[in-house]
Structure formats: C-alpha cells, structure tokens
Amino acid sequence: MAPLSDRLRAVADALPLRPGLRVLEVGCGPGALAREVARRLDGGYVLGVDRSATAVRQALEGSAPEVAAGVLGFRRVAVEDLVLEPGEAPYDLAVAVRVGALDGRHPDAGRRALVRLRDALAPGAVLLVGDGAPLRQVPLHGPVRDGRDAPHPWSDL
C-alpha cells in the first residue's frame, strides 16, 4: 500500500478527532484517508463510502486488518443515496475531499446529499468539505427539508 499523500495527511491532521468518534468519509476512494483516521482514533469507528465499486473493492483489499479489527468499514453508495442500516449508530464527524456533490460542482446532488447526511449524522455532528486542508465546515441545519429547498452552503467556493 502506498504511503499517505501529503495532502491527505494534512486533511487527517486538520480533523477534530477524539477517542470514540464515529467518522464518515464520503468519497473514500481506495481508503487511504479512512485508514489513517482509523489508525488515529482510540475506540472509534470509520466508515468510508464511495459510489465506485472499484474504489470500495480497493479500499477493502487494502484495509483487511482494520476491517477485521472492527475499526473500519466500507460501503458502496453515493452520498445522495446514503441511508444508515438498521441499528447503525449515527456518525459524529463527516469529511469529504474532492466530492463533487459537496464541493459545489454538482449542486442538485449536493442538496440531496445534505438531506441524507443530516439523517446519518448525530446531533451536533460536523461536516468538513474541501480539496485538502484547510477544510470548510458545511452547515447541516437550516431550511434543508426534502432537498429541493436547500441553500447552497458552498456558494462561496
């Protein structure tokens, strides 16, 4: 497995991690950032999601020890279709690096994604989005109800 890039290391360094957090990485690709976050968490859990079956397969193949230890998992799903599984606890922190639905490149998908993320994140959870560090916090609360009337929290990008 390749070493973590400087860009992803800077993202991991910027995350407000603390013991026991449940972290959701949106657009995890081959899982490099998710593995690093899982390595840094004490007693927490990281779920990486990606719309690409190839990316999720690569992430699983490169993360077998972490997955077996129960500190890391991956799921193939687009963020705008994300739904917690029955009995799955919500997440305390979400991070998305270079995810078009959340960085303003695909605003319709972004509105749908924010609705899904609000349902998947615990009260008080934080969503951090960017192209690397520094990350921007995207508001999860406000007029988002069904995705059609969501504000553009990324409008200043």
The pLDDT profile of the chain, 157 residues, written as one tens digit per residue, is: 667 999 999 999 999 999 999 999 999 999 999 999 999 999 999 999 999 999 999 999 999 999 999 999 999 999 999 999 999 999 999 999 999 999 888 889 999 999 999 999 999 999 999 887 689 999 887 554 334 344 444 333 2
- Specify if 45 maps to a domain: yes
Domain contains 150: no
Query: What whole-number distance in Å separates Cα of residue 71 and Cα of residue 81?
Result: 23
Say if 157 falls within a structural domain.
Answer: no
Residue 20, in any domain of the structure: yes
Please, what is the end-to-end C-alpha distance for the chain in angstroms? 33
- Assess if residue 42 is contained within a domain: yes
In a domain, 148, yes or no: no
* Structure letter (DSSP) for residue 147: S
Residue 97 within a domain = yes
Answer yes or no: is 75 within a domain: yes
* pLDDT for the residue numbered 103: 83
State the total domains in the chain. 1
Give the domain CATH number at 123.
3.40.50.150
Q: How far is CA 33 from CA 59, 96, 136, 140, in A?
A: 10, 10, 17, 22
Domain hosting 122: range is 6-138
Quote the pTM value: 0.88
